[in-house]
Amino acid sequence: MGLGSKVVLALTKSIHQPACKILCFDNFFTSIELLQYLREEYGVFALGTIRANRLRGAEKKLPTDKNLKKKGRGSHAQVVCNKNKIVVIKWYDNKCVTAASTFVDAHPIQTVSR
């Protein structure tokens, strides 16, 4: 694991009853390995935006940014790894954002006004 993961793990150790918590972090910290480790070792659920180079094969099953952009704002896709219990969601608004989670997926879907 990289520097970002080590920072998250160090902070997680300081949390009282971490299994009762949900951690959220940005793409500097998020990796598939970190999400899996937090769930298996600490019982902690986590969610974070994730960089494309950290998807460990999930990017092959997700549509490209260009394809999501063609479908328009609000289009999304998700890949679920049942073995590791991790969901990777790619969503297009003004640009594509990819998130990985051990506790939520892309549903339910709602439309909101801005």
Domain ranges of the chain: 3-101
Q: What is the pLDDT averaged over residues 55-69?
A: 92
Predicted TM-score (pTM) of the model is 0.85
pLDDT in tens, 66-84: 999 999 998 999 999 888 8
How many CA atoms lie within 13 Å of 107's alpha carbon, on the beta-carbon side? 3
Confidence category of residue 34, pLDDT binned at 50, 70, 90: very high
Residues pairing with 86 in the sheet: 81
Residues near 21 by Cβ (< 8 Å), separated by ≥ 6?
15, 44, 45
